[in-house]
Amino acid sequence: MKVSIIGAGMSGLTAGCYLQLNGFETEIFEKHAIPGGLCTSWHKNGYTIDGCIHWILGSDTGSSFNKMWTEILDMKKIEFVNHDIRIEVEVKNTKDRHGSNVFKLYTNLDRLHGYLLDLSPEDKKPIDELIKSMRIMQKFDLPPVMDELPFVQSMIRGIKMTRYLEFLYWFLKLKNETNYTFAKKLKSPFLRESFELLYDGNEVNILVVTMPLSCFDKKSAGYPIGGSLEFAKKVEQSYLALGGKIHYKTPVKKILVEGDTAKGLLVRNDVKHYSDVILSASDWHFTVFDLLDGKFTNKHMLELRDLKKLEVFYSIVHLGFGIADELKDQPHFSRYPLKEDLILPDGTKYDRLEVHVYNYDKTMAPAGKSAVVVSFYTKNGEWWLDLRKNNRPEYRKVKKEFTEKIIGLLDERLGGIKDKLEMSDMATPATVYRYTNNWKGSTQGWLPGKNLLAPSPVGFTLPGLKNFYFSSHWNQPGGGLPIAIKTGRDVTKVICKAAKKKFSTQPKV
Ligand SMILES: Cc1cc2nc3c(=O)[nH]c(=O)nc-3n(C[C@H](O)[C@H](O)[C@H](O)COP(=O)(O)OP(=O)(O)OC[C@H]3O[C@@H](n4cnc5c(N)ncnc54)[C@H](O)[C@@H]3O)c2cc1C
């Protein structure tokens, strides 16, 4: 049975691997010349600018996500870095009791616990509760892999799953807790300010803070040396080794439909490819409203389109720099307040700068030098898309001026880097859109925000359309690489069921 897949991002590649493992004959059609989609890096003047991964769930052995990655990759061959400190946040208005204005988010939970208690013994109760919630999370392997099992084994698993009631209890208890509501419980003004600033001043559900921390502590959310494109290429190699085919530089223009059934793809040069099943692993909005002309929707999807149910995740302005200095004493990831507010050309106001120094990955820069990234998340992605489309000279001018401004700020921050600057680069939401088609330049699909129990936005199928499936980071608010592989795996199960095949993760020899 033949399956055509749209998109060689991580969702398309992982789905492709699982489909090949299950005996389907698949081909991927990708508009770009390389694999990875958003999971990418690019090279300039001997430096590598990474556009994605800070951490991947499943980098340890034993966790559910590791089991999934291991089904399609040799994870043991990938070197992961586990940082001692996730981020150093400089606060503006307060100091800790030792006179420092830097909050360190340690990744080891015992160390974090000790650090927080040292800074504010009078906040013992909320601090203990916070750490306890993470320790409880660590007892559970999430998400549990729920493949079909023979009857007796499935009964045993059902009994074991009742343990997850404890997790459910904590989940429900914390469902309305945010970094802001948690901060309000704290007596220490320094800790209060620090927790409010953890997500660049945004209010997010506390689980957005605690879930990753519970994984960092177990060293199951590491950074892969070599960066994002190298990681994506490894998945691409697995897919090709399993017999898959990729057509690069082949944008899909339409999904061909006859009556109520998807039949094939119309691609570049109006070439038609017919297959038994179509799987779109590309942008949700583009798939539904362009490739299928909005003919297969329902009220829920129209409300999503009109942004009545969920917000689209931030887009990004991403500046890369190459500096002839090791910067080995700089924190790898920090955020610090600016003397004056910085207004992004799209109008978004920032009072802090986020700096990422890749001094822990020697592959990113020539020997003795460092790659540095400064990023700004923005909800105004469309401003950049419009400017690039309607006034290219102005778009270039705005980029140049903004880059100069950031070089000035970095020069102050990193102690005179202007003379050592060997490379600069600026990507905008228009770049994200141009290379990946993500709606409004979104970097992770839908925004989870405060409501982690938001309805699942997009299913694997579309109303009224047969032989068509959809899987990508748009299936689950928050997106990310683990969601890409999980949806790729889950959609394969659904396709197997429709084809009356038993889902398997073992290669068919
Ligand atoms: C700055 C940044 C940092 C991030 N950090 C992390 C992190 O630390 N950890 C983490 O887990 N995740 C992170 N993410 C999120 C993660 O990269 C994405 O959620 C994930 O890569 C999405 O994969 P996808 O395959 O679903 O979508 P995409 O990557 O968007 O892939 C879709 C693919 O479809 C192709 N396509 C689109 N339209 C067509 C068409 N018409 N014809 C042919 N091909 C088409 C695109 O070119 C693309 O290759 C980050 C993202 C960004 C941008």
Report yes or no: 35 and 231 within 8 Å, Cβ to Cβ: no
Q: For residues 171 and 207, what is the distance between their CA atoms, to the nearest angstrom?
A: 8
Q: For residues 184 and 8, what is the distance between their CA atoms, to the nearest angstrom?
A: 44
Give the Å distance between the CA of 128 and the centre of ligand 1: 37
How many residues are present in the chain? 509
Instruction: Give the closest residue (by CA) to ligand 1 atom 53.
Output: 443
Quote the pLDDT of residue 453. Answer: 61
Q: Is 232 helix (H, G, I), strand (E, B) or coil?
A: helix
Bridge partners (DSSP) of residue 100 are none
Q: How far is CA 66 from the centre of its chain?
A: 16
Report yes or no: 88 and 333 within 8 Å, Cβ to Cβ: yes
Q: For strand 333-343 and strand 245-247, is the pairing parallel, antiparallel, or unpaired?
A: unpaired
Residue 157 corresponds to which tokens in the numbers above?
């698993």
Q: For residues 366 and 94, what is the distance between their CA atoms, to the nearest angstrom?
A: 39
Give the Å distance between the CA of 29 and the centre of ligand 1: 15
Instruction: Give the closest residue (by CA) to ligand 1 atom 4.
Output: 52
Report yes or no: 246 and 17 within 8 Å, Cβ to Cβ: no
Determine the Cα angle at 108 with ends 106 and 110, to 5°. Answer: 105
Distances from the Cα of 68 to the Cα of 147, 334, 473, angstroms: 12, 31, 16
Instruction: Give the closest residue (by CA) to ligand 1 atom 16.
Output: 480
Residue 423 corresponds to which tokens in the numbers above?
């490379």
Contacts of 130 (CB under 8 A, 6+ apart): 116, 182, 206, 210
- Name the DSSP letter for residue 331: -
pLDDT tens-digit series, residues 361-418: 999 999 999 999 999 999 999 999 999 999 999 999 999 999 999 999 999 999 889 9
| Residue 117, φ and ψ in degrees, nearest 5 | -65, -40
With a cut of 50, list the residues of the chain below it in pLDDT. none
Q: For residues 139 and 129, what is the distance between their CA atoms, to the nearest angstrom?
A: 16
Report yes or no: 508 and 23 within 8 Å, Cβ to Cβ: yes
Instruction: Give the closest residue (by CA) to ligand 1 atom 19.
Output: 480
Chain position carrying tokens 């605690």: 210
Report yes or no: 375 and 402 within 8 Å, Cβ to Cβ: no
Q: For residues 346 and 499, what is the distance between their CA atoms, to the nearest angstrom?
A: 48
- Name the DSSP letter for residue 299: H
| Residue 200, φ and ψ in degrees, nearest 5 | 55, 35
pLDDT tens-digit series, residues 276-304: 999 999 999 999 999 999 999 999 999 99
Q: How far is CA 371 from the centre of its chain?
A: 21
Report yes or no: 184 and 107 within 8 Å, Cβ to Cβ: no
Quote the pLDDT of residue 167. Answer: 72
Domain boundaries, the chain: 2-41+54-64+227-310+450-498, 83-218, 315-440
The listed CATH number (3.40.109.10, 3.20.20.140, 3.40.30.10, 3.50.50.60) that belongs to domain 2-41+54-64+227-310+450-498: 3.50.50.60
Sign of the four-CA dihedral 486, 492, 496, 497: positive
Q: Report the residue among 266, 282, 435, 491 best suited for mutation to probe ligand 1: largest number of ligand atoms under 8 A from its CB.
A: 282
Summary count for the chain: helices (H), strands (E): 16, 20
- Name the DSSP letter for residue 313: P
Quote the pLDDT of residue 62. Answer: 81
Q: How far is CA 79 from the centre of its chain?
A: 19
Instruction: Give the closest residue (by CA) to ligand 1 atom 23.
Output: 10
Q: Is 93 helix (H, G, I), strand (E, B) or coil?
A: coil
Q: Report the residue among 87, 373, 481 best suited for mutation to probe ligand 1: largest number of ligand atoms under 8 A from its CB.
A: 481
Chain position carrying tokens 């120094």: 357
Interaxial angle between packed helices 124-138 and 206-217, expressed in degrees from 0 to 180 and rounded to the nearest 10:
60
Residue 54 corresponds to which tokens in the numbers above?
């800070």
The verdict on pTM exceeding 0.95 is no
Q: For residues 114 and 109, what is the distance between their CA atoms, to the nearest angstrom?
A: 8
| Residue 44, φ and ψ in degrees, nearest 5 | -155, 130
